[in-house]
Amino acid sequence: MVESKVSRKIQIMQTLASMLEDREPVKITTAELAKRTNITEAAIYRHFPSKRRIYQELVEFFEDSIFPRIASIKKDPAPDEIAGNIVMLILTFCEKNKGISKILNREALSVDESKIEDKVNLLFDRLALEIKQSFQNYEKETKNKLSLNATSAADLVVSCLEGQIQIFIRSKFKRDIRNSWNEHWRCLLYTSPSPRDRQKSRMPSSA
């Protein structure tokens, strides 16, 4: 009985995530979800009191899927690869779970779902912290310096990550975001300008 309840709950979550791929979230109704899952609306409400609750559990599914793997990635003996591999992990997840990517970029969230948005914001803050720590470890182990401090570098990478997710959604999930990330990852941080170059970049043009 317990196993049946769990499988039904997962079925509801998977179906809603699938429905998010090809339509506007506001147009998804409980009645339509019930039809797609072949489960009555009453049964859906027994598992989830609202659509908002399903979104919340989908975010928790992301957290449970990603953060244990990040812990494994951080054990990589090549410290310069860790931050890039964390981003690649998340982009791979988004490619496999397209509906959840719409929750991660807040597109699926309405104005009355601020608590879910707060949860997503905290999730990205946590990702930024993991990436920041990986940069600090890189500098400590290699004695090399990034072109930015670790906090700013992590903010830049997370901004790029959110941008890649947005591009993926805008392309109707056709854009190869992992490949494009590979193309510009090394250009972001690991080439540090000399003090003289920095000074030149601050000088106004004579033209």
Q: What is the pLDDT of residue 169?
A: 93
**Torsion angle of the four alpha carbons 73, 79, 85, 90, in this order, in degrees rounded to the nearest 10:** 70
User: pTM, whole model, 2 decimals?
Assistant: 0.84
User: Taking the mean position of all CA atoms in its chain, how far away is CA 15?
Assistant: 20
3-state secondary structure of 38: coil
Q: How far apart are CA 79 and CA 136, in angstroms?
A: 9
Q: How far apart are CA 91 and CA 179, in angstroms?
A: 10
Pair 33, 16: CB distance under 8 Å: yes
Residue 105: how many CB atoms within 10 A of its CB? Answer: 18
List of domains in the chain: 52-191 (1.10.357.10)
Pair 104, 94: CB distance under 8 Å: yes
Residue 120 burial class via C-beta count within 10 angstroms: exposed 0-12, middle 13-18, buried 19 and up:
buried
The amino acid present at 39, given as its one-letter code, is I
Non-local (6+) Cβ contacts of 184 within 8 A are: 160
Q: What is the pLDDT of residue 184?
A: 74
* Full pLDDT tens readout for the chain, 207 residues: 444 555 889 999 999 999 998 877 667 888 999 999 999 999 999 999 988 899 999 999 999 999 999 999 999 888 888 999 999 999 999 999 999 999 999 888 876 778 889 999 999 999 999 999 999 999 999 998 888 899 999 999 999 999 999 999 999 999 999 988 887 787 776 554 444 444 443 333 433
Convert 46-75 to b/e letters by CB count within 10 Å (16 or more is b): ebbeebeebbbbbbebbeeebeeebeebbe
Q: What is the pLDDT of residue 112?
A: 73
Q: What is the pLDDT of residue 182?
A: 81
